[in-house]
Structure 1
Amino acid sequence: MTKALPNFFIVKYHDRKIITEKLYQENTTIVFVHIPKSAGTTTLECLRNVAEQRKLEKPQNVWFRNYLSIFNSLKSGKHHRSRAYLGVFALGVCDFVDQPCSYFTVFRDPIERTISSYMYCKKRRDKICHAADARNMTVKQWALHQGSVVFYQLLHNPELCEEQYNVEATDLMKKKGDIKRRNVDIPCWYKQILLLQKRIDKDRRQHVLSFILANMKNLFAFIGLAEKYNETLQMLEKVYDLPFYSLCAGDVKNKSVYKISGDNATDSKTMIVEKLKKDLMEDPEVREVLHEDMEIYNEAVRIFNKQLDKFKGLS
């Protein structure tokens, strides 16, 4: 799947060689794959703070504005290698790095993530909000619109975001009945979803999903969970021998309190999420469009617990 280093805690061999801690900790390229609304902003800032504290080179952001230029320069060999990369489009960097390179990411329950992005996009104009206008949608409509975004993020191909695909993506968007925010282009992440949905039928999608599930432990050197963020930071500190937990424990960004429409009382975010979550989980249409992401999340939980068991055994 990739030449990146496999899971630090549960994979013993890489390229037929025994894995050592040095591979992950000495002059290794670290790549954080940011899944939006999954403790991503918190982790981005933490990685930047860690780099600053250890006097490492500032991490290179791979995001909406520069991903094509970065990947093109990586392919040509002209890109100055950074010690760390981070961003929504960072998956793929390790394919072009000669030194040891590893990915890590943080997953979140797909339904909670969908609700979080819905609430966020009702108030913000972030790129993750541009493919549709959450202000004019119900949470169910938002869930059906977004679908299994992580599944397609793991299939990211920068070439699909080139201008040559704009007309096709726009036509697909119209056929689907989506209405994007005014005066904004179709964001790359959603353009890719539209194009891949056209090219991958249901049977093939299941084969691709099975491949992803079987290889997650080989793709990611570490898998974290937003729901268990302190444990995530503790294990990250062990993997890379960098002060993730020491510097960042308890520092959570974009954590809000929301008001239920029509109710003068303000409930906690957790209470609101639980009410919306129950409705979405019981909806067969929502369960179908989130099928791939639910399977990926369940595997991430399984791997996380395995990592945690190994980590505790090392303590």
Structure 2
Amino acid sequence: MQINKILIHLHTPKTGGTTLRKIITKNYKNSSHNVYLDEPKRKRKLKYLNQKNVSCIQGHFPFGIHKYLSKPCDYITMLRDPIDRVISEYYFIRRGTRHRLHQQVMKMSLDQYLRRSESINLQTRYLSGATGPVTRKDLEIAKKHIQNHFAVVGITEMFNESLFLMKKKLGWRDISYEKQNVTKTRPSLNQISDSTLIELEKHNKLDIELYNFAKKILEQKLISLDQNSKQELNAFLSKLSN
């Protein structure tokens, strides 16, 4: 397993990251640390961890936390179809009575929720490290971060293929899993009105472009696998489908 770098799991909300977090924790055991904290508590925790023997850090934080760490780092993350991600997040918060936004979101329609600045192009914000409204410049920064700082950017809709590539790249031993935090009570896309879907697309154009960019890279990595690795991947996918 790769140990010369700290692995940073940038956990974007509602992308399958909780399932991935469980897999990562299993492979890194006691050297994996969760940092699901807001500023400034996050900074204090990262400065503390920098003095410890840490192999992996996971949490809901934007790109850039490697600046608090003295060892070299590699990032991984998952990106999800932006329209589906916002819908899933909305219904997840409404279901989760302990979520900090639960009371607020219970008073909002999906159309109101999707216009929240925090919901718009969230994946681009996370991967660019932007702190304000996301711009096209931030999108280009996020793309460069993917190319230069991420070992693998997975795609939620291709979770198993993404997981396999992470295993190969990072030397993970055990990638068996059970899905976590699945929003079972949400409607399917064909149950959402066309007008709402149009609004979702309009407000998340940058995320859609980033998602398609990352998906092409992932697909190219799968195509470029050697024959033995392709056979190993097919066996892994076949095992999961049984």
**Which amino acid letter does the alignment assign opposite residue 254 of structure 1?**
N
Written as runs of structure 1 = structure 2, the 5 A alignment for 1:258-297 is 258=185, 272-276=188-192, 278-283=194-199, 286-297=200-211
Supply the AA of the counterpart residue of 2:77: T
Query: Greater Rg, structure 1 or structure 2?
Result: 1
Q: 1:276 to 1:39 in 2, by over 3 A?
A: same
So what's the TM-score if we normalise by structure 1? Answer: 0.64
Partner of 2:123: 150
Determine the structure 2 residue equivalent to 1:47: 24
Q: Which residue does the alignment assign to 1:208?
A: 138
- Matches of 1:59 and 1:25 in 2, distance apart? 13
> Is the CA contact 2:28–2:55 (under 8 Å) kept in the aligned structure 1?
no
* Structure 2, gaps ≥5 residues long: 230-242
Q: 1:21 aligns to what?
A: none
Measured in 2, the distance between the counterparts of 1:310 and 1:26 equals 25
State the Cα deviation string for residues 83-132 of structure 1 (Å, max 9, x = none). Answer: 110011263233343434200001100110000001111122324x36x8
Question: Which string of whole-angstrom CA distances, capped at 9 and with x for unpartnered residues, describes residues 25-50 of structure 1?
Answer: 24321111000100011111111122
Asked if the contact 2:88–2:183 (Cα under 8 Å) also holds between the matched residues in 1, the reply is no
**What letter is aligned with 1:113?**
R
Within a 5 Å distance, the mapping from 1:66-215 to structure 2 comes to 66-73=41-48, 79-89=51-61, 91-124=63-96, 125-127=98-100, 129=101, 133-145=104-116, 146-156=119-129, 192=131, 196-197=132-133, 205-215=135-145
Percent identity over paired residues: 22
Q: Structure 1 residues 307, 277: closer, same or farther in 2, change over 3 A? A: farther
Contact 1:35-1:150 at 8 Å conserved across structures: yes
The letter for the 1-side match of 2:107 is N
Task: Pick which of 95-104 and 294-303 moved more.
Answer: 95-104
Distance 2:219 2:79 in 1: 13
Which ranges in structure 1 are unaligned for 5 or more consecutive residues? Answer: 1-23, 158-191, 259-268
Distance in 2 (alpha carbons) for counterparts of 1:242 and 1:91? 23
Inter-partner Cα distance in structure 2 for 1:313 and 1:238: 14
Residue 310 of structure 1: how far off its partner (Å): 2.0
Q: 2:33, 2:56 within 8 Å by CA — same for their partners in 1?
A: yes
Tell me how far apart the structure 1 counterparts of residues 56 and 115 of structure 2 sit (CA, whole Å).
34
Residue 229 of structure 1 aligns with which residue?
159
Instruction: Give the distance between the partners of 2:83 and 2:68, measured in 1 at CA.
Output: 34
Provide TM-score, normalisation by structure 2.
0.81
Task: For residue 300 of structure 1, give the secondary structure of its aligned residue in structure 2.
Answer: helix
Supply the distance in 1 between the matched residues of 2:154 and 2:80 (Cα, whole angstroms): 9
Q: Give SS of 2:114's match.
A: helix
Deviates more, 1:89-98 or 1:106-115: 89-98
Deviations 1:142-165 (A, max 9, x none): 1111111122223437xxxxxxxx
Contact 1:33–1:90 under 8 Å retained in 2: yes
Q: For residue 278 of structure 1, report the CA deviation from its aligned partner.
A: 4.7
Which amino acid letter does the alignment assign opposite residue 35 of structure 2?
V
1:253 corresponds to which of 156, 175, 180: 180
